[in-house]
Structure 1
């Protein structure tokens, strides 16, 4: 063929070369696409190397594979799918329904888009939800999981995990196998420790703590799982054993008058100990310990034209106490009398002063006081004003008390 310029052109040869080049290019492109790794069953659109990479997605849906190295991956927008691979990686996704797998290594994964799923896989990972409805799955390793204020799902997986909940009502919280610690936020949370020795804390709201195995559904002193008092409902948790010994601090004032020309006021501050005596029908009985009583008293009064005053110490034998804890009703009774006034006071009259023995007849039985059987060693306090001689009698006793577990003095 002759060109308009007069040159001869070999069209057939050129066409053949172009066709050969096109044939050779097609297999290369197909091979490259086939070699791309997959993540979550999807072919990767962004691929890292075996080294430390910085990978950024688009505003659309990306499939990112980090491969090896300590990578930094930012999915940006879209429902991204990320497989960070081996190494200590940092991954952030912002799109709704994104999915991230950390892979082997100590990874830090964060979801700022709702309904994402973060899986730490192997290693001690840190997973954080910055939006609601995010599933945080720690996998193997000692993971730290932090939920958002809008409820999601938290599962520590195998390992000794730390789970921190937000202020929503989180009801899908599992520690997984391992000795886990779970801290509720401001909502009404349900926390399950699952296997091994766990602890959970309720925080604000009405919370449920389930210790899980070992131990059955009942709360017992032998169960190793700890459920803090700020979790309102305890299931399969350890409860402290009923104390063998209590320390009693009691102080009060007894006022007596005959309505005419005689009245006295005696105030006292006493510390005593009560020791477990026997158990029967769900009740644990305590009696005053043989030693350890201490305290003091002061008294004033009037008898006609005369004034009365006195003071002294309280010693062993001057106060009698009986206490009973009732496990069936969750109440306790506290019965006491005293303290005895042994040291003579004085009475001063216009005609002279002489020795005078004052009498303290203070006594009471405080029945059906509230006692928490789920926390049987919690201090017990109360106050009462009573009339031991009846409403028309001349004796009025006002007192307060505090009971707290005490160690055996031996």
Structure 2
């Protein structure tokens, strides 16, 4: 017999039915309802020529605000693997925008990238100050307001820019133009990815790492590099010679080119600093590179050629396809010639460390308690107390 549901029974039943769920609240950014919303994945979101409210949500989003005074929230970025993070890539476009890149869940590694603020298409140079919790980026008459988060990459314009980083670890790319980049606190990279994320240029840039272990790169032109406090890495790509380097306090590594046509001066600063000097060399095998640790001078064996003078350097690592002559001091010397063709070293007194090349070397360690490793090749080593791979006096290969 079919059951019949009476009105009274129906009313009672309806009283016990669960209420239908209300629709989720629309995403907001800076208190405003979003007009363009992404997904939990990787999106490419493009705004209009008017004011937009864009919310990327999850994923590594590419957001282009275009014109208007936009409000942009990148959203939380996901971790990939153990330590890697893919962040959002945000270009607010013309107008005075409010931008919150979001926060990365995991620390960035070399395989990932954090949030990017992109100003490569700006119509004039930018003035960015991200040193406080709320930063500003001024482009002509417009000023973007940035909610500063940990781990930002900032890409400048093709004009002259001034970019001051955050109190966290930043990567500041000046792009083209004569730029001033100041990393501030944190372990920063300045023009570190030139040619990858930005275009190398031949303008005179000033790059200041500030406190922290920074990586600072000269990309061409008469750039001025200042590592500041910390164990910094200062290097040049060799597009143009004429870069000045100041390591500052800390144990710094400097990578510089020797130019036999132009004198230059580098200052490694305080600390135990290393200079890796590279020279394109000559086809004449009789010409060698001479490294004089006592005077801090690097030159060739040709008397009339230019001199590179490096102050504050305790460790030397020549990198040339030519023979190298190393002249030590009365104190402790340290030289690594693995990237050279034949080493002739005389280190005088002091407790020295000498690492030879993969060719035949002649090493006189002098007085003091010295450690010598001749490496490959048939080497002659004298005056050393600890000897490895030397066939001559002082050790066996």
- Tell me the TM-score normalised to structure 2 length: 0.43
Q: Which has the higher contact order (CA 8 A, sep 6+)?
A: 1
Higher strand fraction: Structure 1 or Structure 2?
A: 1
- Tell me the TM-score normalised to structure 1 length: 0.42
